């Protein structure tokens, strides 16, 4: 989630609908300027006893952030406390229970984004050695209850924590117990955005399956391969899901604005503080009728904040966010941007990917999305085949797309090598969660603490 550094007092007041559409319109870029932004979260644990460190404890989350400044990161504070960092590699921030996130800089190719990932992980590992911390690449805490997890001192998270139980039974699990990898990608025009959005939504269940990596809850198998994905099905129906309207005729920026205006608010940021507006209407805000700020109209930054509070499988801001993957180890972080860049950044690959899914009905898309958290690559796709079969075809298209991009590193390698870990998953038919379950029932002998050996 985004981290605010300043108040919005100097922002223009929103006077017309054009200002609501502007963020999406301003995101349009010519293909030469398309970039790749990779975000990845890690579970932080104390090496001595595997507890999730609090913000204030010695060697905890605050000390980790302070220590990362040694690598040139600049602090971001809220209420006098460091809660994030910014630098040339993007931003380091905290999820609600201290999950550590890198929101990477927009980069030109996968070689650069993977190098960025490597720098970040080397830095946190170095600090971890000093502070006695380790980092798990999983989609969900494998053994922690909600009560065992700390809360970070960020105002927006306190608001969300109060609001989540009002709208779903698993929202607090989403906040406290999950981790993801995410990719942010550009578009050239409204029509290009629409096509990429539709392909991204239709194929998001495949990404979820390939990266499924959350089979444990509180020390035992939970019956899912991606429990993180299942959690989103009962978090908040007003701001999650597969968005049927995206596939309807006429979808574009204006329709996205209408959707976002119907998403209930969480907060308003004023004078360095978050004001609780959970469940209130941004439409009322536009009319100066927001109960917590009577007579005040929203500013541009309020709309930007609001755009970050919807959580569908694909999200539109001034770029498209691919949101379906579980967190994973270093070896898989670079694979997710490779998957989506290969499909969406080459016109022929985008056309080929759309041809695979364009005839699916909305009911079929929903059925696949609902089946994948339990079945992963064994889920059935329209036509009676397995998702694994579709995976082979999609990875072949992604490989062709990356080959066509012809972005080489100093050794003369193109970007296709970053797909190899996904090729192996499809070839075996076993996703990461299934390998973890094999270990749990085999060599671990039911001892979930053995999972901590698989830290970064």
Whether the pLDDT of residue 223 is over 50: the answer is yes
Average of per-residue pLDDT across 64-87: 98
Confidence of residue 22 (pLDDT cuts 50, 70, 90): very high
What is residue 153's three-state secondary structure? coil
Confidence of residue 2 (pLDDT cuts 50, 70, 90): very low
Whether the pLDDT of residue 54 is over 60: the answer is yes
Whether the pLDDT of residue 7 is over 50: the answer is no
pLDDT at 10: 73
List, as one string, the DSSP characters of 126-150.
HHHHHHTEEEE--SB-SS--GGGS-
Q: pLDDT, tens digit, for every residue of 90-142?
A: 999 999 999 999 999 999 999 999 999 999 999 999 999 999 999 999 999 99
Whether the pLDDT of residue 72 is over 70: the answer is yes
Question: Radius of gyration (Cα) for the chain, nearest Å?
Answer: 21
Identify the structural domains of the chain with CATH numbers, from first to last.
18-445 (3.30.590.20)
- Nearest by Cα to 301 from 24, 91, 11, 19: 11
Mean pLDDT estimate for the chain:
96
Measured at the alpha carbon of residue 205, what is the angle toward residues 201 and 209, in degrees to the nearest 5? 150
How far apart, in whole angstroms, are the C-alpha atoms of residue 312 and residue 324? 9
pLDDT at 445: 98
Q: pLDDT, tens digit, for every residue of 160-191?
A: 999 999 999 999 999 999 999 999 999 999 99
How far apart, in whole angstroms, are the C-alpha atoms of residue 54 and residue 151? 7
pLDDT at 293: 97
Token pair listed for 271:
């004078």
CA 72 to chain CA mean position, Å: 25
Average of per-residue pLDDT across 363-389: 98
Confidence of residue 232 (pLDDT cuts 50, 70, 90): very high
Q: Are 253 and 25 in contact (CB under 8 A)?
A: yes
Average of per-residue pLDDT across 358-366: 98
Whether the pLDDT of residue 56 is over 50: the answer is yes
């Amino acid at each position: 989630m985004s981290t605010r550094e300043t108040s919005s007092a100097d922002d223009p007041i929103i006077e017309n609908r054009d200002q609501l559409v502007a963020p999406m319109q301003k995101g349009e870029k010519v293909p030469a300027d398309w970039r790749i932004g990779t975000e990845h979260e890690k579970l932080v644990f104390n090496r001595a006893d595997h507890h999730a460190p609090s913000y204030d404890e010695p060697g905890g989350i605050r000390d980790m952030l302070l220590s990362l400044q040694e690598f040139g990161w600049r602090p971001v504070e809220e209420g006098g406390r460091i809660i994030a960092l910014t630098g040339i590699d993007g931003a380091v921030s905290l999820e609600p229970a201290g999950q550590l996130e890198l929101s990477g800089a927009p980069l030109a190719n996968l070689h650069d984004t993977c190098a960025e990932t490597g720098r970040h992980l080397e830095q946190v590992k170095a600090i971890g050695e000093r502070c006695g911390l380790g980092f798990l690449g999983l989609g969900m805490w494998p053994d922690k209850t909600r009560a065992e997890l700390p809360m970070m001192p960020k105002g927006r998270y306190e608001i969300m924590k109060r609001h989540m139980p009002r709208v779903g039974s698993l929202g607090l699990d989403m906040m406290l117990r999950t981790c993801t990898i995410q990719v942010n990608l550009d578009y050239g025009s409204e029509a290009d955005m629409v096509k990429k959005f539709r392909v991204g939504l239709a194929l998001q269940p495949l990404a979820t399956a390939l990266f499924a990596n959350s089979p444990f809850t509180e020390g035992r198998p939970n019956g899912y391969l991606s429990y993180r994905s299942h959690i989103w099905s009962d978090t908040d129906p007003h701001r999650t899901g597969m968005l049927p309207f995206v596939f309807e005729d006429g979808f574009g920026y204006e329709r996205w604005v209408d959707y976002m205006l119907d998403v209930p608010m969480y907060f308003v940021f004023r004078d360095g503080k978050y004001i609780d507006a959970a469940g209130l209407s941004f439409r009322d805000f536009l009319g100066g009728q927001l109960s917590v700020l009577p007579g005040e109209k929203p500013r541009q930054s309020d709309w930007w904040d609001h755009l970050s509070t919807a959580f569908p499988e694909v999200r539109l801001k001034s770029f498209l966010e691919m949101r379906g993957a579980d967190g994973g180890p270093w070896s898989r972080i670079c694979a997710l941007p490779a998957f989506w860049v290969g499909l969406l950044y080459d016109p022929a690959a985008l056309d080929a990917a759309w041809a695979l899914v364009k005839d699916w009905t909305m009911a079929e898309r929903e059925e696949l999305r609902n089946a994948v958290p339990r079945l992963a690559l064994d889920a059935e796709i329209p036509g009676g085949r397995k998702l694994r079969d579709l995976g082979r075809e999609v990875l072949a298209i992604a490989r062709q797309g990356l080959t066509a991009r012809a972005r080489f590193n100093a050794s003369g390698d193109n970007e296709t090598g970053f797909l190899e870990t996904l090729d192996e998953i499809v070839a075996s038919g076993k996703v990461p969660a299934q390998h973890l379950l094999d270990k749990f029932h085999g060599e671990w002998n039911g001892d979930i603490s053995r999972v901590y050996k698989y830290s970064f």
